[in-house]
Amino acid sequence: MKVEYLHASKYGNGAKVAEAFKGTMAEKGIEVVVHHIRDTRPKDLPPADVYVFSSPGRIGKPIGSMRRFLKKVNLPSGTKYAILSTEVAPQPNKKTGKVPTKEERDKRQRVVPIMNELLQAKGLKKVAEGTVYVTGIKGPLEDGWQKKVETFSTLILACA
């Protein structure tokens, strides 16, 4: 199995997650090639069994460069893909101290759904999705983020 991992890391959190994913998959004998989207042409992606797309969230959406990249991706219909986003961790309401529910977060955080819409419109087939939280705009990554990457890698292996 060969995996192409394409990320749009701005502050290095996504790159750190990509390298951890690559290491986890290498332990299982799977080749992962990591690319930043600025170094790759969306119409000329190398062949792979699965493509992983990773974007940080900005104002509830994938960053603009990733949205533009995904709109230009040229892969055959039925190609398998997965999404692993990096988003700011849910923060408690300053007045009430309550952390927003999953439903409340889903209304504001649309990183993964937007990426899915763009890829599924091209006929691509989703095999996994996940989110790793950062504790601030520039990081650091949440405690236990490596476990999320391991779980995500298991989902990718299940699609082989």
User: For the segment 103-144, what is each residue's pLDDT rounded down to a tens digit?
Assistant: 877 777 899 999 999 999 999 999 999 999 999 888 899 999
Q: What is the DSSP letter of 127?
A: E
Between β-strands 61-62 and 125-134, what pairing exists: parallel, antiparallel or unpaired?
Answer: unpaired
Q: Which residues form the domain of 138?
A: 2-158
CATH of the domain at 142: 3.40.50.360
Closest CA to 51 of 134, 128, 150, 143: 128
Q: Which residues contact 50 (CB under 8 A, 6 or more apart)?
A: 1, 2, 3, 4, 80, 81, 82, 127, 156, 159
| Total number of domains constituting the chain | 1
Q: Residues 40-73: pLDDT tens digits? A: 999 999 999 999 999 999 888 999 999 999 999 9
